[in-house]
Structure 1
Amino acid sequence: MDILDRTMYPTVPTRLLAGVVVPDTPIVTRAIEFAREHCEPYLFNHSMRSWLFSAAVACLKSSPHDAEVLAVSTLLHDIGLAPEFFGPLRFEVEGANAAREFARASGMQERQAQLIWDGVALNSTPSIGLHKEAEVALCTAGIGLDWGGFGYEMLSPSLIAAVLDAYPRLEMKQRFTHAVCRIVESRPETTYDNFARDFGERFVAGYKKPASAVDLLMNSPFKE
């Protein structure tokens, strides 16, 4: 079941977790505990699965990357859904700000902290995230695989089963929907230009985007 070549991480200690070799460093341990502390169990499990899937995808693609950056960004990618990090910005940006502060407080370099910010902020925008640096692209790929099954066929059924056994989904579909709908109801202004709008239109009575992008362009205060 060990699909990851340990030589991918020649400079850091590793451990085997649900069939995937992952870095085993103090920063990664702190990120796991930070996610566990602030996320509901279903969301923590989603974050762990996303990290494991991102590491597995990195192996399959033989993609060099900073293992700690990938771990922190993936583990903390949904931290903005935790009530402690609610704010006036869309939840991905609130989460990205919190993850970057975590990275800085953990002694990571500014370049690493910025890559973590990008990974968290862009994880729900794969049309951008998948085309950025390896750490951001892998973060996006692992999250997308667990969230919507994107790239599901890349991994073996036995590996996926091992990850799900270690970190069960715990009604992820329903609970994630409820979490996003809470944001739509309480902070609708943060949802008009992102995927949360889809949940509002489907599940939240009375939700309506105030204007389309076309309206914004046509009503801008400039003469042709």
Structure 2
Amino acid sequence: MDTLEAKRPTAAATRLLAGVPVPDTKLVNAALAYARENSQPYLFNHGVRSWLFAVLIAEARKTPHDAEVLAVTTLLHDIGLEEAFAGPLRFEVEGANAVRAFARNEGMDERRAQLVWDGVALNSTPSIAFYKEAEVALATAGIGLDWGGIGYEALPEARIEAIVEAFPRLEMKKRFAHAICGLARSRAGTTYDNFAREFGERFVPGYKAPSTVDFFLNSPFRE
């Protein structure tokens, strides 16, 4: 049977992290180490919380999924915000390229590595990501819950609080907004078609990004 479900690996071992059972595999532990090494503390904690929330959402919905793909995606989804991974593309794509390279280097096959890429690249576009494969949708749900409280009511508050206590937010609202405004200042061209534009318009004096309306109206076609 050539289906994704048939190819999903079963974790040989699990462990508890903030009271949540998670896979205890070489790949997941490598992703944790990579995230810790390459992320500021507030972003590392955000990634771990997002992962744990995604695991609990999958449990509540009884959604079959590839636990390793979900772990790698959520743990590393914001790595494109770090200076070491900066580039000319929007930060989600720079991050997705880096995380896919990490996954391949760790021996993940191409199909699973591409799922990781999709989850990272689309994590801030829920209007698309929620309708992708289970791993992408779950990652987006966990990230959205931690980032903006989206779906907060879907999980018991006591479990949410336990995760936040274990991995504190470390002024995430202030630090994340600062990071996105930095993109709006230094790479405005990467922000026109994503949520970063809204941060630039609200917080960055003189911010101006390309407009999709201009692309459309200035296209080289005669009417």
* TM bin (shorter chain): over 0.9
Report the Cα offset of residue 101 of structure 1. Answer: 0.2
Distance 2:37 2:193 in 1: 30
Where does structure 1 differ by over 3 angstroms across 4 or more consecutive aligned residues? none
Distance 1:87 1:172 in 2: 23
Residue type of the alignment partner of 2:162:
A
Q: CA RMSD in A?
A: 1.3
Question: Which residue of the partner structure matches residue 207 of structure 1?
Answer: 207
Report the Cα offset of residue 186 of structure 1. Answer: 1.1
Would you say 1:32 and 2:32 are equivalent positions?
A: yes
Residue type of the alignment partner of 1:141:
A
Question: Which residue of the partner structure matches residue 221 of structure 1?
Answer: 220
Question: Which residue of the partner structure matches residue 4 of structure 1?
Answer: none
Aligned length: 216
For the residue of structure 2 that corresponds to 1:72, the secondary structure is: helix
Report the Cα offset of residue 171 of structure 1. Answer: 0.3
Report the Cα offset of residue 83 of structure 1. Answer: 0.8
Question: Any unmatched runs of 5+ in structure 1?
Answer: 1-8
Residue type of the alignment partner of 2:14:
T
Distance 2:86 2:10 in 1: 38
Which structure 2 residues correspond to residues 158-177 of structure 1 after superposition, within 5 A?
A: 158-177=158-177
For the residue of structure 2 that corresponds to 1:118, the secondary structure is: helix
Distance 1:223 1:12 in 2: 61
Distance 2:92 2:85 in 1: 10
For the residue of structure 2 that corresponds to 1:16, the secondary structure is: strand
Question: Any unmatched runs of 5+ in structure 2?
Answer: 1-8
TM-score w.r.t. length of structure 1: 0.94
Residue type of the alignment partner of 1:99:
V
Q: Is the 8 A contact 2:11 2:67 kept in 1?
A: no
Distance 2:142 2:217 in 1: 39
Residue type of the alignment partner of 2:166:
A
Question: Which residue of the partner structure matches residue 193 of structure 1?
Answer: 193
Question: Which residue of the partner structure matches residue 183 of structure 2?
Answer: 183
In structure 2, relative to structure 1, the CA distance for the partners of 1:191 and 1:139 (3 Å cut) is: same
Residues 197-223 of structure 1: CA deviation (Å, up to 9, x unaligned)? 011001111002333x23322221112
Residue type of the alignment partner of 1:135:
E
Residue type of the alignment partner of 2:216:
L
Residue type of the alignment partner of 2:196:
A
For the residue of structure 2 that corresponds to 1:189, the secondary structure is: helix
TM-score w.r.t. length of structure 2: 0.94
Report the Cα offset of residue 22 of structure 1. Answer: 0.7
Report the Cα offset of residue 64 of structure 1. Answer: 0.4
Residue type of the alignment partner of 1:90:
R
Residue type of the alignment partner of 2:69:
V
Distance 1:219 1:113 in 2: 37
Report the Cα offset of residue 10 of structure 1. Answer: 4.8
Distance 1:43 1:217 in 2: 36
Residues 126-169 of structure 1: CA deviation (Å, up to 9, x unaligned)? 00001000000000000000000000001101100110110000
Distance 2:15 2:188 in 1: 42
Which structure 2 residues correspond to residues 1-224 of structure 1 after superposition, within 5 A?
A: 10-211=10-211, 213-224=212-223
Distance 1:121 1:12 in 2: 29
Residue type of the alignment partner of 1:19:
G
